[in-house]
Amino acid sequence: MTLSWLALSVATLGAAVWTGAIVFQSAIVAPSVFSALEAPDASKFLRRLFPSFFRLGIVCGVVTTAGFAFVAFLSGPAHVLWPLVLSATMTLLAIVSLLMVPGINAARDAGESGAARFERLHRLSVLLTVAILLGGIIVLGHIARLAMTGIHSAA
């Protein structure tokens, strides 16, 4: 196994964990929380969950981006330039999402006067997460293409 493939494996791990975490949180955790807990308890739980969720995304994004950066260093950027840029962009979106959490919480705490702001910020957070999910799927698809065609023959 070459260092390029090892670095690509690191990028794969980061992207797969991140994408899987988003799917798990969206399809399993959120529906379960809202069906099993009363609104005040669900809110307490989600306030604890989301910062950790976004931090996990940031760590996975750094791992993925670093893996692609190392592949670019070893094999040239032509093979991984756009997934490198995409994973770095996804990481920035996760940072923005984490930074939005206090504002979302404050808008929720403001009650009726903050309802419109909460809806706007929450919608933006969801859109950023969907964008990250789609980016993760694209990145994983590119990694699969590299695995099938070889890192030196895929441009």
Give the pLDDT score at 152: 54
Mean model confidence pLDDT for the chain: 93
Based on the structure, what is the number of domains in the chain?
Answer: 1
Would residue 155 count as lying in a domain? no
Q: How confident is the model at residue 78 (pLDDT cuts 50, 70, 90)?
A: confident
Residue 135 lies in a domain: yes
In a domain, 127, yes or no: yes
In a domain, 154, yes or no: no
Q: Alpha carbon of 68 to those of 19, 55, 146: distances in Å?
A: 16, 20, 12
Angle at 98 between CA 71 and CA 143, to 5 degrees: 25
Domain span including residue 55: 3-149
Assigned token pair, 59: 């760590």
How far, in Å, CA of 36 to CA of 74, rounded?
50
Cβ contacts of residue 84 below 8 Å, gap of 6+?
65, 68, 69, 72, 77
Is 29 a domain residue?
yes
In this prediction, residues 100-125 reach a mean pLDDT of: 97
